[in-house]
Amino acid sequence: MDKSELIRLASFGAAARLAEIDQERQAILRQFPNLRGQNIGAERTNTQATPNGRRRSRPTMSAAQRKAVGERMKKYWAARRRAAGNGSAAATPRAARRRGSPSRGRRKMSADARRRISDAQKARWAKQRGEQQPAAAARPANPARAKPTRRGGARKMSAAARKRISEAQKARWAALKAKQVK
C-alpha cells in the first residue's frame, strides 16, 4: 500500500468521523435548544453570520477617529510631495510621473484632424460595404469652422432658438403634469 492510498483512506475516515461529530452536535442541540445561537469551540470571524442571520459589519469610526486618520493622511501625502520634489521616483504621485506637466489638461483636436479621421472612417465603412469610396479630398473645408471665434468652436445657438426650445420644454412639462392630475 503506497502513501497516496493511505492518505485517501485516512481522508475517508476523517470524513466519516466528522459526520459522526455533526450527528452528535445535532442531538445535543435538540436537547439544549438555547445553545443554538452560540458558536462554542470555534472562533467567529467577521465574515460569519451572527445569530440573527446578518453578517457582522465593521464598527464605525467616531468623529475624533476620522479626524485623526485625516491628519495622518495629510502628513503622509505632504511627505510624499516633499520626497517627489527631491527627485525620488518611488514617492512621486502617478500624475507627476507622466510625461509633461500634471496640470496640462485635456488636449484638443483641430477641426481638420477630426475631419480627416471622419473621412477615413467613412471610407473604411464604404469599403466594408463594397461601395465606391466617397471623394473625401474633394470636400472643401468649411471656412466658418476654420478659425473658431469663441472657446469650444464656432457654433452658437441664437436667442430665438433657445426660446423655442424653452417653450417646447415648458409645454412638455405642462402636458405631463396634466396627465398626472387625471
pLDDT at 80: 92
| Band (42; pLDDT cuts 50, 70, 90) | low
pLDDT in the model for residue 87: 55
Most confident among 13-22, 78-87, 123-132, 139-148 (mean pLDDT): 13-22
**The three three-digit cell numbers of residue 152, written as one number:** 469650444
pLDDT in tens, 157-174: 899 999 999 999 999 999
DSSP collapsed to 3 states, 12-71: HHHHHHHHHHHHHHHHHHHHCHHHCCCCCCCCCCCCCECCCCCECCCCCCCHHHHHHHHH
Task: Measure the N-to-C terminal CA separation of the chain; round to a whole number of Å.
Answer: 85
For residue 136, name the pLDDT band (cuts at 50, 70, 90): low
* 55 strand-pairing partners: 49
pLDDT over 80 (residue 140): no
Contacts of 50 (CB under 8 A, 6+ apart): 56
In the predicted structure, residue 102 carries a pLDDT above the cut 70? no
pLDDT(39) > 70? no
Could you tell me the pTM of the whole model?
Answer: 0.23
